[in-house]
A and B are shown apart, each in its own frame.
Chain A
Amino acid sequence: MITQAIFNVIFGLFKLLLFWLPDVTALPTFLGVNLDTIFSTGMGYFNRIVYFFPPLASILTAALVYLGIKLTLTLLKMVLGHRAPHIT
């Protein structure tokens, strides 16, 4: 209950602070290109192909995991600068 109460307070504060910001329901249109439609349709095609050939989903997941970790290391290096570990 105590932990739950802390969570409730934190999330409540977030909501209070951000209430004036608009909700995002779709990606914006950029230079006449509706990014939301493009991404949605693209993922629709991809999911359709994945249904027929499931390994594609694993390949995409593997690529996203790899890029995600690389992105994390890159961000770490940007934030820490020269203090970043060599592995970044």
Chain B
Amino acid sequence: MKRGLSIFWIALALACFFGASRLNAPLLELRKSHHISQSDPLDNAPPLVTFTTVALGGFRGILADILWMRAADLQEKGKVFELVQLADWITKLEPRYAEVWTYHGWNLAYNVSVLFNEPADRWRWVRHGIGLLRDEGLRYNPGNADMLYQLGWIYQHKIGQDLDDANKFYKQSWASEMMRLFDGPAPDYSALAAAPATREAFLQTPGAADLVRGIEAAGFDPYSAELLGSNLPPAVATALEGSPATTDLKAYVRRRALAEVYKLDPAIMQEVDAAYGPLDWRLSQAHAIYWAWRSRKVGKGFAIVQADRMIFQSLFEAFRQGRLFVSPKTGQFLPSPNVDLAPRVRKAYEDALAAHADNETIRTAHKNFLREAVEMLYTFHRTREAQEMLTDLQTRYADEENKGTLEEFVFRKLLEDGSVDLKAVTGNDALQMIESHFHQAAIWSLAGDPERAAGFEARAIAYYREFRKNHEDPDWWGRVGVPEPAEIRASARARAQQDFDAMQAQRPR
């Protein structure tokens, strides 16, 4: 009798649990529709997070505070090994507060990274910051405009700019990773679309099962993004070489890594490229634009203004140093101006001006872009485009500093830049100046004017020497200095040859 009663109670409890679980979803819907809950239920959350947030109730805030204080204390003492775990717990306790995620992502990428001396150590922490926002924060707050913007900010500012001494390492590491992922400067959208969408679909490919078995036998994960790298174990390389399914496997791994590791949607990338590109996706600016684009789509009010700013600022930066030249000598990526982007950047500014007509900062940014674009286009021998930009500049912003002919304007601007203290000039600006002169020299040399070519060449070398003289510290030079003149010249000559060929092709026959 007693046993039967126990069974009855257990059965009743199970029935109640079942009933409660069936009622839960409609109740949540009712709460949402009547606006009586402070926040929507968590989507996509693992059971542990859902349980923690529900079971701890209001007390989870206290627990988060305690963990937060511990994190601050440890960070102060330089004991950072726990911070990833603490950030994970704190954010999981408050999964819906976007500010908590953005603070911790920023803290890891900015404040903790600089507690290290080695660029590789710093880069690991920048990645932790990106990972926290991209892989976790956006999972619990999909479509949160601020979080998307903050993620873009790390790409635009921390990696893209040169305020951190390790920025070259960040750029190089990110570019290598993207190069491996895309097998070039940008994704092959049609190949991605044609790639097997699932593992099962790939395994239907002839030879796929044998290839997977061969790679697994070498102790390697056949679906890992590592498979796209060049330093594969010999057994894996052999298996890949001899299989008809290799192309499909790599395409599948690429598609999967893009979506699951980097959270990049090829359809959105294509939209971004159509609007502003073609972008070099090995560069952080392209990724800043991608996340800003996504933020703009879901944002409202000021979120749109800041996303627009990120887009045109990143485009401007891509214009200034959005072309990667791989040094044949060192294998390093050398960023240099991507003058082809000028019309796209101009359009982005114009779109932003049209959308936020009363925003003075956007007008100032637009004017600065036009001024710099005129100079850069001129020095890269795009005289017609430079003249067009100058006319636009003079029409819109009739200031004293913008007056004069193209030559007068550029000469005056060069003089202004020349009066700048070279100690304060960044490596990127110096590189741009030197390469543009080498480019001019190469163009004039190809055009058969060796005298003018020699003049530009001499100015490039003189600028390099002067810049070098102002930065004698070998450590500083190693971190943020510019490459040797021979390397910059090689990059400029390659570009000049392309430009010259294009000019020749356009000439009337």
Chain B associates with chain A: no
Residues of B within 8 A of A (CB): none
Residues of A within 8 A of B (CB): none
